[in-house]
Amino acid sequence: MKIALAQINVTIGDFDGTAAKIKSYVQQARNGGAQLVVFPELSITGYPPRDFLEFDDFVERAGTVLEQLKPLSRDIGILVGLPTPNPQPEGKNLHNTAVLLYGGREIHRQHKTLLPTYDIFDEYRYFEPAVSWNVVEFEGHRLAVTICEDLWNLGNENPLYTVNPMAKLMAQRPDMIINLSASPFDYRHARERIRVLRANVRAYDLPIVYVNYAGAQTDLIFDGGSLVIDKEGNIRKELPFFEEKLDFFDTENFTRPGQDRERPKEKIPLIHDALVTGIRDYFGKIGFRSAVLGLSGGLDSAVTAVLAAEALGPENITALLMPSEFSSESSVTDALALVRNLGIRAESLPISPVFDATMEMLRPYLGQGFDVTEENIQPRIRMIYLMAFSNRFGHVLLNTSNKSELSVGYGTLYGDLAGGLSVLGDVYKTEVYALARHINREREVIPQNILSKPPSAELRPGQKDTDTLPPYEILDPVLHLYIEERQSPSDIIRQGYDAALVRRILRMVNRNEFKRYQLAPVLRVSPKAFGMGRRMPIVAKYLE
């Protein structure tokens, strides 16, 4: 049996566009001689549809698309995913369902059993789990159709579920596992996925065909990497990362010994490609073409500009240089060198005249001091400039804050924390350096001076990040242990970090939840990003 793996990139709720795309891929699959074409989880709605699932109208429109697909299945099996109403009066109103169409009608449906409800996932918010499991016979094969998480209760040290749908399906002697997935990228995920799928191959002695999404949905980036794994655990096919792609695999090949053809998976290049995908799809899917950002001469805005230029084209990037009296001369020259290297547009707008006018109005009320008040006014004036360009020219403002500063609240609300999309909000400062070195691997795109000078917000004379924060080489690992690993202060201290410093860092993290709450969506590249996947109380007293 020749199977087409349709690793598509869709827009959530774009029923007409998605239906057209699925139809076109069915046609291509048929033209390529496939007997079966497999799409990702909830392929008709896109993933994650979130609370659109609470609208009956939304679910009905997905059902209408399924009806439209039936006539196309006369001579090819079409395996798609969609939300379907739960006919039982008790339990959640929907199932997360895979449907196999063939011969112009539905020949099989299987609901999802394991409903991920952690991190960015909310599936039990909407779906009732399956309570029955059936293998389907198709073209001489016995297919165990599973949906994403259904295979993920295996090979884990922390199994989250008390049932295992594959174990149930094994009673009906399947000869192949098909998995429709919606598995968002993080820098560990592509490896993790293969580990878990191989654990299934080993446990059930079956080959797996796994189809994932490509492309970004706001903050979530789907990396594709769809897979065919044989019974020996060899990767017979791994589709490209981050790209929409149709590819074919003939199950006849399982009868011949095969080689493992795994693609390389390096953390920093993957993060780079993920972020470019995230920017490109955020703009493309909401119909914006151009971005504006502030270029400070520092590292974060430089890396953001490079990624944006790659995603949208340099002609669609406008950079504003907005020096103040505290900006060093190299800030401007470094930023201008980057502008030349990238070929993006740039304008220079000093903030002093507006800063002075603002202070003249405020002085009678605030007095003569210079503290965080005056520091914060500067990035807020920059925001006004940037948003004026956004409003007038339809550019989206890109936020350039990194994960280290967001973690400890080192940023100004409605100032440098502004923006429609946070590009580096899930990338620690030490990782931003690594990204910059990766960008510069063949030629100096980011001027070397930007990489070598000490980081500074330049909001008061001679300011350095290290005036307020520990060095990033210490800060970042402590943040990682707390945020990604959820370790306690005592666990972290036990690893050799200074106790007072650890407590100070965790206190900063917890006290600045209110700032992150108002942040733009953050492109997620780590196992624990700020946003929907990390839900913390704002008013609380834990570790404060």
Q: For the segment 52-71, give every residue that binds its own copies (CB under 8 A).
A: 52, 54-58
Q: Under rule CB under 8 A, which residues in 521-540 are in contact with its own copies?
A: 521, 532, 534-540
491 binds its own copies per the rule CB under 8 A? yes
Tell me how far apart the alpha carbons of residues 488 and 493 are, in angstroms, rounded to a whole number: 9
231 a catalytic residue: no
Instruction: State residue 439 phi and psi, 5-degree precision.
Output: -65, -40
Q: Under rule CB under 8 A, which residues in 92-131 are in contact with its own copies?
A: 92-93, 117-118, 122, 124-125, 128
Q: Interacting stretch for its own copies, rule CB under 8 A, among 216-224, 242-250, 431-439, 463-471?
A: 216-224
Q: Tell me which of 2, 112, 285, 515 is the catalytic residue.
A: 112
Residues in contact with its own copies, counted by CB under 8 A, come to a total of 97
Identify the CA nearest to 12 among candidates 219, 273, 201.
219
21 a catalytic residue: no
346 binds its own copies per the rule CB under 8 A? no
Q: Are 519 and 417 in contact (CB under 8 A)?
A: yes
41 a catalytic residue: yes
493 binds its own copies per the rule CB under 8 A? no
Tell me how far apart the alpha carbons of residues 166 and 542 are, in angstroms, rounded to a whole number: 41
Tell me how far apart the alpha carbons of residues 518 and 414 are, in angstroms, rounded to a whole number: 9
Q: In whole angstroms, how close is the CB of 375 to its own copies at the nearest point?
A: 8
Q: Under rule CB under 8 A, which residues in 230-249 are in contact with its own copies?
A: none
Interface pattern 387-426 for its own copies (x via CB under 8 A):
xxx-xx--------------------xx---x-x------
Between helix 472-483 and helix 499-511 the angle, nearest 10°, is 60
SS3 call for 420: coil
Q: Under rule CB under 8 A, which residues in 143-182 are in contact with its own copies?
A: 153, 158-162
- Cβ atoms within 10 Å, residue 485: 11
Q: In whole angstroms, how close is the CB of 522 to its own copies at the nearest point?
A: 11
Interface pattern 252-271 for its own copies (x via CB under 8 A):
--------------------
46 binds its own copies per the rule CB under 8 A? yes
Type of residue found at 508 = M
DSSP E strands: which ranges in 322-391? 345-348
Q: Interacting stretch for its own copies, rule CB under 8 A, among 13-21, 68-76, 174-182, 203-211?
A: 13-21
Q: Interacting stretch for its own copies, rule CB under 8 A, among 257-265, 279-287, 325-333, 470-478?
A: 279-287
Element (DSSP H or E) covering residue 490: helix 489-494
For 17, residues 6+ apart whose C-beta sits below 8 A from its C-beta are 10, 11
Q: Among 32, 286, 289, 449, indicate the residue that binds its own copies (CB under 8 A).
A: 286
The burial of 203, by beta-carbon neighbours within 10 Å (0-12 exposed, 13-18 middle, 19 or more buried), is given as middle
463 binds its own copies per the rule CB under 8 A? no
* Per-residue H/E/C for 8-54: CCCCCCCHHHHHHHHHHHHHHHHHCCCCEEECCCCCCCCCCCHHHHH
370 binds its own copies per the rule CB under 8 A? no
Q: Among 299, 520, 523, 529, indicate the residue that binds its own copies (CB under 8 A).
A: 520
Instruction: State residue 503 phi and psi, 5-degree precision.
Output: -65, -40
Q: Tell me which of 2, 148, 149, 431 is the catalytic residue.
A: 148
325 binds its own copies per the rule CB under 8 A? no
Annotated active-site positions, please? Answer: 41, 112, 148
